[in-house]
C-alpha cells in the first residue's frame, strides 16, 4: 500500500490524480479463515485491525451485508469523550479516547480527530450532584474532567442561553480533550489498514446462519456461500439480537432507532460540543459549518433506520431554547440508525454460549467514541480468551447482577 503524505499529494496533483490506489481490495470470500468478523462497522474493522497489529492474526475476513461504515458508524454525531462514572467504563473509554489522539498517524489516514472539548450541561440540582460525582470519580480514575460554573460555560460557548424558558444552565461537566472525529474516515482508515495486512473485507454479503458442531462455531452461511472459521466475532450493533438468534441464544438487549439532523452550513459559531441532557438535545458544528444535532431514541423497538417525527420536534425545541440563534436556520438532512441498548447502558464484549463465538455489542447511543478501545480489547479477548478491559463486560453480568450502571453518563448523552 502506498503511504499518504504531503509529497504524494503534490506528486498526484502533477499527474491528474491518476496514481492513487484503491484504498481496500474487494475480494471474493475464501472457503476458510482463522477469524471471521461479522459487521464492517467501526468496531468490527477495529477488532480486525488490532488482531493483525497486536497479535499477528491476519487470516481474517470482515463480512458486511451492506457497505462498510454504512451502519451506525456512518450515521452518528461523532462525539468522543471518556467521562463515565464506573471504573471499567472509564478504563475502556479512556483507552479509546487516548488511541484517537494518534489514530491518524497510526493508520496513515486522517480521521480528523478534533479534541475541541465536550461540555455536558447541568440544568437541575440532580444533574449537578450527578456530574460532580462523575468529576470526582474521573479524578480518581485519572481521566481529566472538571466541574465548571455558568460563567465559564458562557465563556467557552458564547451562543448559549443560560436562562432558558424551562431550565437555567447551572454549570457543566467539561472534558477538555473530548471532541469529535470524521466517522467515515475512522471506518475507511481501519478498512485500508486491514486490507493492507491481507485481510478480506467482503461487502454486500449477509450472514444468514451460524454453523456450529458440538457446541462450537465452525462457520457461517452467507449470501455468497458458506465460509468456515475457527473463531467468530459478531459485531453488528442493532442487529445483534438477530445474530444471536441465528446461533440459538438470547441477548439482554433492545434495538431502537436513534436519529440526528444537520442544519444548513453557517460561519463558525461554536468550537466545542454541548450536550443538554435535561431538555434532551446536543449540538456541535462540523468542519463544513453545518450544525450537527442529535436527539433521543424512539420509545419503541424497531429496525427502521429512520426515527419518528415527534423526536425531531422535541430535539429542535430543546436546542432552540438552549441556543436561540438556531431558530433561524434551515434543516438540511435527518437520518436514523438502530442502536443496541442494554439495561445498564454499558456494552457487552463477551464470550457466548457457543465456543469460539464472541459478541461485541450494546454500545447503544455512544459507541463511536469507543471504536479504537473496543477493537483493541475485543482483539485481545478473541486472541487470548481474556482481556483486562473486557473482564467486567460479559453478557452473564445481567444474570449475576453485576451491572455497570452508566445511566447518568449514557442514558441520554452520546
Ligand atoms: C444518530 C446516532 C447518533 C450517534 N451519536 C453518537 C455520538 O455522538 N458518539 C458516540 O460515541 N456514538 C454515537 N452513536 C452510536 C454509535 O454510532 C454506535 O455505537 C457505533 O457506531 C456502533 O458501531 P458498530 O461498528 O458496532 O456498528 P455499525 O456501524 O452499525 O456496524 C455494524 C455492521 O454490521 C452489519 N451487519 C448487521 N447484520 C449483519 C449480517 N447479518 N451480516 C453481515 N453484516 C451485518 C451492518 O450492516 C453494519 O454495517 C450514535 C448513533 C446514532 C444512530
Interval 120-174: pLDDT, tens = 999 999 999 999 999 999 999 999 999 999 999 999 999 999 999 999 999 999 9
**Region 403-410 average pLDDT:** 84
Return the biggest CA–CA distance within the chain. 64
Q: Which atom of ligand 1 is nearest to the CA of 78?
A: 8
Percent of the chain residues past pLDDT 90, beyond the cut: 92
234, three cell numbers: 459478531
Q: How far apart are CA 190 and CA 47, in angstroms?
A: 9
pLDDT bin (cut points 50, 70, 90) of residue 295 is confident
User: How large is the average pLDDT for residues 4-17?
Assistant: 93
Distance between CA atoms of residues 78 and 183, nearest Å: 6
Report H helices in 56-178: 87-101, 103-107, 125-141, 150-156
Whole-angstrom distance, CA of residue 407 vs CA of residue 76? 20
What pLDDT, on a 0 to 100 scale, did the predictor assign at position 376?
A: 98
Query: Distance from the CA of 346 to the center of ligand 1, in angstroms?
Result: 15
Instruction: Give me the pLDDT at residue 172, please.
Output: 97
- What is the pLDDT, as a whole number, of residue 304? 87
What is the pLDDT of the chain when averaged over all its residues?
95
Tell me, what DSSP letter sits at residue 163?
B
Instruction: For a ligand 1 pocket test, name from 236, 361, 406 the mutation site with the most ligand atoms within 8 angstroms of its C-beta.
Output: 236
Determine contact, residues 109/45, Cβ cutoff 8 Å: no
Mutate to test the pocket of ligand 1, among 76, 205, 273, 411 (most ligand atoms within 8 A of CB): 76
C-alpha span between 176 and 166 (Å, rounded): 28
| pLDDT band (50, 70, 90) for residue 44 | very high
- Is residue 339 lining ligand 1, measured as CB closer than 6 Å? yes
**pLDDT of res. 217:** 98
> For 312, phi and psi rounded to 5 degrees?
-65, -45
**DSSP assignment, residue 352?**
-
Average pLDDT over residues 227-247: 98
94: which 3 cell numbers?
479512556
* pLDDT higher than 90, residue 311: no
Distance from residue 46's CA to the centre of ligand 1 (Å)? 13
239 lines ligand 1 (CB under 6 A): yes
Cell of residue 266, nine digits: 453557517
Residue 328: predicted pLDDT: 93
Task: Output the pLDDT for position 411.
Answer: 56
Read off the pTM: 0.97
Residue nearest to atom 9 of ligand 1 (CA): 79
- Out of 181-190, 230-239, 305-314, 354-363, which region has the weakest mean confidence (pLDDT)? 305-314
* Whether residue 413 has pLDDT greater than 70: no
What are 146's strand-pairing partners? Answer: 174
Task: Give the span between the Cα atoms of 376 and 367, in whole angstroms.
Answer: 14
Amino acid at each position: 500500500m502506498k503511504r499518504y503524505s504531503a509529497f504524494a499529494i503534490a506528486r498526484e496533483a502533477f499527474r491528474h490524480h491518476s496514481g492513487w490506489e484503491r484504498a481496500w481490495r474487494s475480494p471474493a470470500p475464501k472457503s476458510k479463515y482463522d477469524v471471521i468478523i461479522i459487521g464492517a462497522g467501526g468496531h468490527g474493522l477495529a477488532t480486525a485491525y488490532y488482531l493483525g497489529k497486536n497479535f499477528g492474526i491476519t487470516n481474517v475476513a470482515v463480512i458486511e451485508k451492506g457497505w462498510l461504515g454504512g451502519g451506525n458508524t456512518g450515521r452518528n454525531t461523532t462525539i468522543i469523550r471518556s467521562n463515565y462514572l464506573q471504573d471499567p467504563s472509564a478504563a475502556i473509554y479512556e483507552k479509546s479516547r487516548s488511541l484517537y489522539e494518534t489514530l491518524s498517524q497510526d493508520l496513515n489516514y486522517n480521521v480528523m480527530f478534533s479534541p475541541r472539548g465536550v461540555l455536558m450541561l447541568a440544568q437541575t440540582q440532580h444533574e449537578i450532584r450527578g456530574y460532580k460525582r462523575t468529576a470526582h470519580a474521573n479524578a480518581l480514575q485519572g481521566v481529566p474532567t472538571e466541574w465548571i460554573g455558568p460563567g465559564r460555560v458562557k465563556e467557552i460557548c458564547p451562543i448559549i442561553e443560560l436562562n432558558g424558558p424551562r431550565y437555567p444552565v447551572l454549570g457543566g461537566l467539561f472534558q477538555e480533550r473530548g471532541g469529535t472525529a470524521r466517522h467515515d474516515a475512522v471506518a475507511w482508515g481501519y478498512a485500508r489498514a486491514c486490507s493492507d495486512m491481507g485481510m478480506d473485507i467482503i461487502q454486500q454479503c449477509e450472514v444468514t446462519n451460524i454453523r456450529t458442531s458440538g457446541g462450537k462455531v465452525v462457520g457461517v452461511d452467507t449470501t455468497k456461500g458458506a465460509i468456515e472459521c475457527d473463531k467468530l466475532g459478531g459485531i453488528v450493533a442493532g442487529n445483534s439480537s438477530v445474530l444471536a438468534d441465528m446461533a440459538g441464544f438470547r441477548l439482554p438487549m433492545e434495538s431502537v432507532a436513534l436519529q440526528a439532523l444537520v442544519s444548513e452550513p453557517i460561519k463558525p459559531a461554536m468550537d466545542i460540543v454541548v450536550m443538554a441532557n435535561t431538555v434532551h438535545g446536543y449540538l456541535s458544528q462540523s468542519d463544513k459549518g453545518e450544525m450537527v444535532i442529535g436527539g433521543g431514541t424512539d420509545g419503541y423497538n424497531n429496525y427502521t433506520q429512520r426515527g419518528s417525527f415527534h423526536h425531531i420536534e422535541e430535539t429542535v425545541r430543546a436546542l432552540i431554547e438552549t441556543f436561540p440563534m438556531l431558530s433561524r436556520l434551515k434543516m438540511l438532512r435527518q437520518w436514523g440508525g438502530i442502536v443496541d441498548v442494554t439495561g445498564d447502558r454499558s456494552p457487552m464484549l463477551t464470550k457466548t454460549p457457543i465456543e469460539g463465538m464472541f459478541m461485541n455489542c450494546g454500545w447503544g447511543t455512544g459507541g463511536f467514541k469507543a471504536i479504537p478501545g473496543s477493537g483493541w480489547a475485543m482483539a485481545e479477548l478473541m486472541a487470548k480468551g481474556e482481556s483486562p478491559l473486557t473482564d467486567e463486560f460479559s453478557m452473564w453480568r445481567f444474570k449475576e447482577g453485576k451491572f455497570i450502571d452508566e445511566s447518568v453518563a449514557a442514558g441520554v448523552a452520546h
